[in-house]
Amino acid sequence: MSCDELRNRLTKKNGEGLSGNLRQHLRGCSACRGFAERLEIARDLLRLHHADVKPDAGFAGRVTARLEEMGAAEALVWAAGRLLWATVALTLVLASFALRTGPQFAVEAEGVDYLEWILEDTEEAP
């Protein structure tokens, strides 16, 4: 068994027991023994790593307070978004109203019949 093969197997073994082949190689290879020792230490460190922090009595209150703050902020954003859309919609309505009715009112105000004007102009042309 090569060192590469052994180290691959050791890394994957999840701390399980060693087979005969692995033990035999380790007996004869100091570099792999060193690697195996460090791998075991690494596994211990990973296994024992823990912050050991417990929640205090006020934790649930802090969570709900945070949710309330978020709710207020999100409601504000939601309202601002709605206001923006309402403004855009109103602007479009007013603009379309102005475009449709503006020239018509102008024509009616002045009492000018543009069709008659065009026909008169056409008839007089040489």
Ranges within 10-69 binding another protein (CB under 8 A): 11-12, 14-15, 31, 34-35, 37-55, 59-64, 66-68
Give the residue with the Cβ less far from another protein, 11 or 24.
Answer: 11
Rounded to whole angstroms, what are the CA distances from 110 to 90, 98, 103, 106, 116? 30, 18, 11, 6, 14
35: how many CB neighbours lie within 10 A of its CB? 17
Total number of residues that touch another protein (CB under 8 A): 38
In terms of residues, how long is the chain? 126
Ranges within 76-115 binding another protein (CB under 8 A): none
Give the residue with the Cβ less far from another protein, 62 or 100.
Answer: 62
Q: How far is the CB of 1 from another protein (least distance, A)?
A: 16
Give the residue with the Cβ less far from another protein, 55 or 111.
Answer: 55
CA 89, 95, 98 angle in degrees (round to 5)?
Answer: 145
